[in-house]
Structure formats: C-alpha cells, structure tokens
Amino acid sequence: MSPSWRLWGWPIVLALLTASGLVSALVSDHWGDVWSWIGLGVPVAVMAWYASGRAARKEPRPPR
C-alpha cells in the first residue's frame, strides 16, 4: 500500500460517502433518504469505533 493511500484512503472514502449521502436525499425521496442514512451513518460509526479505543486494543502496535 502506497504511503499516500495509507494516509488518505479512509478519509477519501468517508468524504465520498458523506457527500453522496448529503446529495442523495436531496434528489430522491425514498431510496435517497435510505442512502443518506448509510452515507452519514458509516462515518459516524467509524468515528465511534476508533474513538472508543476498541480498534487499538485489537491490534497492539509494536514498540518503535
């Protein structure tokens, strides 16, 4: 994995998800709304997962 992809991969994916969710509900009522819940919900879940520290416990980092 290239260093810039390692650095920016997740942020780009989450930004695209958020943007698609913000737009979809604006242009379509039923499925657009459902997609917006996914598009905004996944970033919120990712935030909660990493901030809760559960991710850190799963993969301990080797000492530097």
Which positions lie near another protein, rule CB under 8 A? 3, 6-7, 9-11, 14-15, 18-19, 22, 25-29, 32-33, 36-37, 40-41, 43-44, 46-47, 49-51, 53, 55-56, 61
Q: How far apart are CA 26 and CA 44, in angstroms?
A: 20
CB of 47 to another protein, least distance (A): 5
Whether the CB-CB separation of 14 and 35 falls below 8 Å is answered with no
CB of 21 to another protein, least distance (A): 8
